[in-house]
Amino acid sequence: MGGNAWTILRSLNQERIVLVVAVLIFGAAVIALPGFFTSANLISIVRSISVLGILALGMSVVIIGRGIDLSMVAVMAMSIAWYLQLLGDGMTEHSALLLVLGGVLAIGLLNGILVAYAEVPAIFVTLASGSFVFGYVRSQLITSDAVPVPTGHWVELLGGLRLAGIPVEVYLFAVLSGAVFLFLRFTKWGRYVYYAGDNPVAARNIGIPVRPMLVLRYVLSALIAFAAGLLTAASLHSINTRIVNSTLLYDIVLVAVIGGIGLAGGKGGVRNVLVGAALIGIMLNAMTIIDISLLYQNLIKSTILLFAIIIDGLLNPRDEQTAQQGDI
Amino acid sequence: MKTLKTLLAAALVSVASFAALPASAQDPSPAMYAEALAGKRVMLVPMAMGFDLAQGWAAILKHEVDAFGGVFETRDPNWSVEAGAQAITEAIASDQKPDVLIVMSPDLNSYSKLMKRAQDAGIYVLLIDNPANFKADAFIGSDWTQLGRLEAEAVVKGCGEGSSKKIGLVQGDQVNATSLYQYAGIMEVLDKTPGFEVVAKPDSNWDATTSRNVTATMLQQNPDICGIIDFWDGDATGAAAAIRDAGKQDQVFLVTTGGGEKAADCDMIENGTYGAVVMTELAQESYNMVTIIKYLLQSGQPAGTSSPFIYTLLKATTKADLKPDSCWDLKALQAMAGE
């Protein structure tokens, strides 16, 4: 009997624990909160975490490869703000988009090259590049915190797009989840991400192009950040760069880590992101319905993150053989 | 204004009576004015330089301070309380410390001690827009309780008699005085208006995406809400998006408040996104600052002598009473200041 219980307990990895907690909160909310279990509210839950989930997908790919990208929110907000500013100043659609995409690629490359070839710890590189992106764009390229979408522009129309009553960002989240899943699971380069994350030295010894792939991951996360920015602006008809100072970056890490993607790298996948995003979405929605003030919402959220990190530390201990200074 | 004018006039008369008039009648006042103001340093430390109000204040202040031969500087804490505190600390400690420090405080208490230190160092401290627990040399800005009352009156009017009378609030946060006082003013009016009730009051933390998410939830829980008050036009675009997504533009009357910048407020009233906006008369508010600065620099009184409140006139503007000059244009103002 005792042995049986222990087996069950051991089989409870973090992802399953979080899934159980999410289902429990969901069940409680269905029973206790009238108006929670309606199709409209469920859609709004998924929608409210779509952008967060998309960002978490990008972050996960980086984290699985034993890195972290703290510049994502800055890239997301500042790229789209610059894009809208260029359009507002009368630049043509094509050149504005090309210019901004070029900028986004450049930041991704810069992050990747500094981490892969200069071997600077990712946490410092991306922290610095995030600040740089914010500071440069805010001071040199745009004139105020909030930049509106020009009236009638396709970004504005994108925000109003519905298929079967479901907002477009939900579909994009689904499509990107599928794409990242296929990439990580079934492509050679996707599998390499795990090998490189689990043991970079061994991965390199067996001939995996560890460094170029590292660069690729940071470019990917920058591009995903740009997509998330587009969706945000599409929905709000403007972008406020103040979001860079918000807790969004921590929420992204929260979604990834809480779902069970170990910060030590080499573990987890899209399923973990979905589970993490589900828990956060259900929790925030329920807390808003109950009218819990923001201070307590943040307290509850951070307590859960702390627990997730502790459990993560216990279940996914650092690999002393491959751990090195500068790892997260 | 009137008292000021009288004071100045009195000073003028007394000066004139003492001075022996030279052959060609020369007004000595401009020379005295110039002597008192030339080279004086004025520093503006808002919560951030990146939003419409701060840019509007800065444009007008720069124009005026340059005109009297002073030096105008700004510091941009970019919404960081620590960076703002550091800017004030450095201003006090620097060799060329400002003569007038204009501070927009992020909350009631963070800068209170620092601002007192500035006054002790002989710097006049003007508190603008956000109230704080501190006796500034003048508070210039909105009476936020009154602002809340005006918002509530606008939403009551927007909902109308035959409506559900259910109101949703999207508050800012629970520390900023503007949010707390606004809430008090709104509740004061709604409590007195029979039938009206607040059905939900989430916080947006001044973030548009959060505002959108909480408003979406609010509308689903209370589909018959007739009016929403979002506490700042900086995040009310989110509440507006949620209303638009729910297809309730004709049903929900959205009220917010802002600095009266054209793109942020008037354009949004014009296209029906906002039902009403309680706007600050930015130009008036900035010229109030200018007047107080000119007065203080000539008064000779030590910093901290008096602490008057100079409230700016507030007005709820709707589409019906929108006029070409209801808003100010940031681009035009910046052009004026030569930026």
pLDDT tens string A185-210:
999 888 989 988 888 888 888 888 88
> Taken in order A54, A58, A61, A66, is the CA torsion positive or negative?
negative
The H or E element spanning position B115 is helix B112-120
Together in a domain, B185 and B256:
yes
Decide: A65 and A197 in contact? Cβ < 8 Å: yes
Q: Which residues on neighbouring strands pair with residue B314, listed in sequence order?
A: B280
Together in a domain, B98 and B160:
no
Q: What one-letter code names the amino acid at A123?
A: I
Read off the tokens for B195.
Answer: 């039938």
Read off the tokens for B151.
Answer: 């918002």
Alpha-helix runs per DSSP H in B94-160: 112-120, 144-159
Decide: B219 and A35 in contact? Cβ < 8 Å: no
Count of helices and strands (H, E) across chain A: 15, 4
Asked, for residue B9, whether it belongs to a domain, the answer is: no
Together in a domain, B135 and B153:
no
Q: What one-letter code names the amino acid at B50?
A: G
> Taken in order A242, A244, A246, A251, is the CA torsion positive or negative?
positive
Together in a domain, B104 and B198:
no
HSE-CB of A88 using CA atoms within 13 angstroms: 20
- Least CA distance to A246: which residue of chain B? B207
Instruction: Select from A67, A116, A114, A127 the least CA-distant residue to A266.
Output: A67
**Cβ neighbours of residue B321 under 8 Å, at least 6 residues apart?**
none
Cα of A50 to nearest chain B Cα, Å: 11
* Residue showing tokens 């279940």: A315
Together in a domain, B169 and B215:
yes
Phi/psi class of residue A144: alpha, beta or left (left: φ > 0; alpha: ψ in -120 to 50)?
A: beta
Contacts of A284 in chain B (CB under 8 A): 213
Residue A8 is predicted with a pLDDT of 62
Return per-residue pLDDT of chain B as tens, 339 residues. Answer: 566 666 666 555 555 555 555 567 889 999 999 999 999 999 999 999 988 889 899 999 999 999 999 999 999 998 889 999 999 999 999 988 999 999 999 888 899 999 999 999 999 999 999 999 999 999 999 999 999 999 999 999 999 988 999 999 999 988 888 999 999 999 999 999 999 999 999 999 888 988 998 999 999 889 999 999 999 998 999 999 999 988 898 999 999 999 888 888 999 999 899 999 999 888 899 999 999 999 999 999 999 999 999 999 998 999 998 888 888 888 787 777 665
Cα–Cα distance, B144 to A130 (Å, whole number) = 36
Of A243, A284, A289, the CB nearest to B221: A289
Asked, for residue B184, whether it belongs to a domain, the answer is: yes
Decide: A234 and A228 in contact? Cβ < 8 Å: no
Find which of B49, B220, B265, B273 to mutate to test the A interface (most A CBs within 10 Å of its CB): B220
Together in a domain, B239 and B223:
yes
The total of structural domains in chain B comes to 2
Of A48, A145, A293, the CB nearest to B174: A293
Chain A / chain B CB contacts < 8 angstroms? 91
Instruction: Select from A139, A235, A102 the least CA-distant residue to B49.
Output: A139
Cα of A177 to nearest chain B Cα, Å: 22
Cα of A313 to nearest chain B Cα, Å: 31
Reported as a single tens digit per residue, the pLDDT across A85-120 is 999 888 898 999 999 999 999 999 999 999 999 989
Interface pTM, i.e. ipTM = 0.77
Residue A1 is predicted with a pLDDT of 47
Cα of A271 to nearest chain B Cα, Å: 24
Q: What one-letter code names the amino acid at B144?
A: W
Cα–Cα distance, A95 to A86 (Å, whole number) = 9
| A 161-180 residues inside an 8 A Cβ radius of B | 167
CA torsion, points B142, B144, B149, B155, in degrees to nearest 10? 90
Read off the tokens for B79.
Answer: 């919404």
Cα–Cα distance, A199 to A209 (Å, whole number) = 13
Residue B15 is predicted with a pLDDT of 53
- Least CA distance to B168: which residue of chain A? A291
Together in a domain, B139 and B286:
yes
What CATH number is attached to the domain comprising B52? 3.40.50.2300
Cα of A60 to nearest chain B Cα, Å: 22
Q: How confident is the model at residue A139 (pLDDT cuts 50, 70, 90)?
A: confident
Cα–Cα distance, A155 to A171 (Å, whole number) = 16
According to DSSP, residue A141 is labeled: I
Q: Tell whether B208 is within 8 A of chain A (Cβ).
A: yes
Contacts of B237 in chain A (CB under 8 A): 146, 236-238, 240
Asked, for residue B167, whether it belongs to a domain, the answer is: yes
Q: Tell whether A160 is within 8 A of chain B (Cβ).
A: yes
Residue B14 is predicted with a pLDDT of 56
Q: Which residues span the domain enclosing B128?
A: 28-143+281-313+329-336
Q: Give chain B's length.
A: 339
Asked, for residue B92, whether it belongs to a domain, the answer is: yes
Does B205 sit within 8 Å of A246, measured CB to CB? yes
Q: What is the mean pLDDT of residues A236-242?
A: 89
Together in a domain, B191 and B299:
no
Does A243 sit within 8 Å of B235, measured CB to CB? no
Q: Give chain A's length.
A: 328
Together in a domain, B84 and B160:
no
Together in a domain, B295 and B220:
no
Together in a domain, B268 and B288:
no
Phi/psi class of residue A43: alpha, beta or left (left: φ > 0; alpha: ψ in -120 to 50)?
A: alpha
Decide: A111 and A97 in contact? Cβ < 8 Å: no
Together in a domain, B149 and B266:
yes
Asked, for residue B156, whether it belongs to a domain, the answer is: yes
Find which of B214, B219, B231 to mutate to test the A interface (most A CBs within 10 Å of its CB): B214
Contacts of A242 in chain B (CB under 8 A): 48, 50, 79, 206-207, 234
More confident call, B165 vs A7: B165
List Cα–Cα distances, B12 to A35, A196, B21, B28, B67, in angstroms: 71, 81, 13, 9, 21
**Cβ neighbours of residue B141 under 8 Å, at least 6 residues apart?**
B127, B128, B129, B130, B131, B280, B285, B311, B312
Contacts of B174 in chain A (CB under 8 A): 293-295
Asked, for residue B62, whether it belongs to a domain, the answer is: yes
> Taken in order A113, A119, A125, A126, is the CA torsion positive or negative?
positive
Asked, for residue B15, whether it belongs to a domain, the answer is: no
More confident call, B187 vs A5: B187
Asked, for residue B4, whether it belongs to a domain, the answer is: no
Q: What one-letter code names the amino acid at A140?
A: Q
Burial of A59 per CB tally in 10 Å (0-12, 13-18, 19+): buried
Cα–Cα distance, B92 to B122 (Å, whole number) = 9
